[in-house]
């Protein structure tokens, strides 16, 4: 019995000891170092940082090791750690136009100032298992070229100059913090984007895919997808100006979506936006599509009842830590409630006889 009248405490201790042993696996096999995880499972590290909302590759690698590769469990570890960290302040907004790009592609133009950079991508690889990796994972050195510190302007900027794409009115309003205030609906776009940025990749992907298949279709083109590092700057009150305190790797996706116009306004393309930590482009693209679908009201579109348009549905269910906790809690003892239902069903059966 998993709820013995006595012994719950010992059962828990023993279970945890067993778990620790299983995590290590066969001691004859070399132990995995967190530096190996950080270097060689970098995309897992990136996902944990993105959905854990904490940019720290070393801690993310530790979480992956501790969680035996269960990424949602790793995200959970990071989130629980993150809550305890003091807030020293907020950075000034990162300027992604100044990103040092390792990848930058646009689907809407053949070429653009700054160029198309494929970067380290799985795109165009043939998905054939490389059995050589089982024996030896050494990679040949990739061809190199000195970086040209060129300004890489946003593609949508070119459309914006001609008025062809909607302009988001700039605002200095401090966005609300999803992790410090209860979510209240309706939420503004900044809060929706926060929620999507830390939302579950699979959930956001599924919703984005549903828009492509016709549930609130919004005709998205990847105007630009860029990955690279951005400087993080912070105002230091004692200095009176902002200084660079570090840099983070980011993925940014800007979609160019179906146009709209009215009697007073000429037709314009619209936008969706995604920004995530690390190299996490599936998530960033998905986020941009869902962001665009959620904007139906401000863009004067019809609500067609699609899940991706439903702000309350999307924001209430995007968080995988909330979802997995509640889902898995049904493993906990519920025998008191079950007993009350058992008696109710027995009583109703007696009444029916």
Partner 1 sequence: MNAPQKNTTEYNFAYLDEDTKRMIRRALLKAVAIPGYQVPFASREMPMPYGWGTGGVQVTAACLTPDDVLKVIDQGADDTTNAVSIRKFFQRTADVDVTERTADATIIQTRHRIPEAALTEGQILVFQVPIPEPLRFLEPRETETRKMHELEEYGLMHVKLYEDIAKHGQIATAYAYPVKVEGRYVMDPSPIPKFDNPKLSDNPALMLFGAGREQRIYALPPHTKVASLDFEDHPFEASKANHNCDICGAGDTYLDEVITDDRGSRMFVCSDTDHCRTRQEA
Instruction: Examine residue 84 and tell whether it contacts partner 1 (CB under 8 A).
Output: yes
Cis amide bond preceding 100, omega within 30: no
Instruction: Examine residue 88 and tell whether it contacts partner 1 (CB under 8 A).
Output: no
Instruction: Examine residue 353 and tell whether it contacts partner 1 (CB under 8 A).
Output: no
244: Cβ–Cβ under 8 A, 6 or more apart, which residues? 231, 232, 233
Instruction: Examine residue 183 and tell whether it contacts partner 1 (CB under 8 A).
Output: yes
Per CB under 8 A, the segment of 111-119, 263-271, 284-292, 327-335 that binds partner 1 is 327-335
Instruction: Examine residue 188 and tell whether it contacts partner 1 (CB under 8 A).
Output: no
| Nearest residue (CB) to partner 1, 160 versus 175 | 175
Instruction: Examine residue 80 and tell whether it contacts partner 1 (CB under 8 A).
Output: yes
**Least CB distance to partner 1 at residue 312 (A):** 6
Left (φ > 0), alpha (ψ -120 to 50) or beta: where does 177 sit?
beta
Q: Quick one: which of 26, 174, 184, 353 contacts partner 1 (CB under 8 A)? A: 184
d(CA 82, CA 349): 52
Q: Rounded to the nearest 10 degrees, what angle do helices 201-212 and 281-294 cross at?
A: 60
| Nearest residue (CB) to partner 1, 243 versus 342 | 342
Instruction: Examine residue 302 and tell whether it contacts partner 1 (CB under 8 A).
Output: no
44 closest CA partner among 261, 286, 277, 209? 277
| Nearest residue (CB) to partner 1, 267 versus 325 | 325
Q: Quick one: which of 141, 148, 328, 353 contacts partner 1 (CB under 8 A)? A: 328
- Of 11-70, which residues contact partner 1 (CB under 8 A)? 11-12
What are the CA-CA distances from residue 18 to residues 108, 116, 345 (Å)? 54, 51, 40
Instruction: Examine residue 236 and tell whether it contacts partner 1 (CB under 8 A).
Output: no
Q: Which two tokens stand for residue 353?
A: 């006889």
Size of the site for partner 1 (CB under 8 A): 50
**Least CB distance to partner 1 at residue 276 (A):** 19
Instruction: Examine residue 334 and tell whether it contacts partner 1 (CB under 8 A).
Output: yes
| Nearest residue (CB) to partner 1, 269 versus 296 | 296
d(CA 106, CA 156): 10
272 closest CA partner among 248, 296, 305? 296
**Least CB distance to partner 1 at residue 340 (A):** 4
Residue whose tokens read 């190199």: 144
217 contacts 186 by C-beta, under 8 angstroms: no
Q: Which residues pair with 117 in a beta bridge?
A: 104
Give the residues lining the site for partner 1 (CB under 8 A): 2-9, 11-12, 76, 79-80, 82-84, 86, 179-186, 312, 316, 321-322, 324-329, 332-337, 339-344, 347-348, 351
């Amino acid at each position: 019995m998993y709820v013995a009248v006595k012994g719950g405490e010992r059962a828990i201790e023993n279970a945890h000891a067993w778990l620790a042993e299983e995590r290590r696996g066969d001691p004859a096999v070399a132990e995995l170092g967190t530096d190996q995880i950080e270097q060689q499972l970098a995309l897992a590290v990136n996902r944990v940082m993105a959905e854990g909302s904490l940019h720290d590759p070393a801690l993310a690698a530790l979480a992956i090791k501790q969680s035996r590769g269960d990424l949602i469990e790793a995200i959970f570890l990071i989130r629980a750690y993150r809550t305890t960290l003091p807030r020293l302040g907020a950075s000034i907004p990162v300027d992604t136009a100044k990103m040092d790009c390792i990848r930058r592609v646009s689907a809407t133009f053949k070429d653009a100032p700054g160029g198309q950079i494929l970067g380290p991508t799985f795109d165009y690889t043939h998905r054939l298992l490389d059995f050589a990796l089982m024996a030896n994972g050494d990679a040949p050195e990739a061809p190199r070229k000195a970086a040209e510190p060129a300004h890489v302007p946003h593609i949508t900027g070119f459309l914006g100059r001609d008025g062809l794409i909607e302009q988001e009115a700039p605002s200095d309003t401090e966005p609300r913090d999803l992790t410090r205030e209860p979510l209240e609906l309706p939420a503004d776009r900044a809060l929706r984007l926060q929620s999507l940025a830390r939302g579950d990749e699979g959930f956001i992907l599924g919703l984005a895919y549903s828009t492509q298949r016709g549930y609130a279709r919004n005709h998205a083109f990847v105007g630009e997808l860029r990955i690279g590092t951005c400087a993080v700057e912070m105002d230091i009150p004692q200095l009176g100006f902002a200084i660079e305190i570090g840099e983070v790797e980011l993925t940014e996706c800007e979609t160019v979506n179906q146009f709209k116009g009215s009697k007073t306004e000429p037709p314009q393309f619209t936008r969706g936006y995604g920004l995530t930590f690390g190299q996490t482009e599936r998530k960033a693209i998905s986020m941009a599509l869902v962001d665009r679908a959620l904007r139906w009201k401000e863009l004067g579109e019809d609500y067609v009842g699609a899940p991706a348009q439903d702000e309350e549905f999307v924001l209430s269910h995007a968080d995988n830590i909330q979802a997995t906790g509640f889902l898995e809690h049904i493993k906990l003892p519920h025998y008191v409630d079950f007993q009350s239902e058992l008696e109710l069903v027995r009583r109703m059966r007696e009444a029916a006889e």
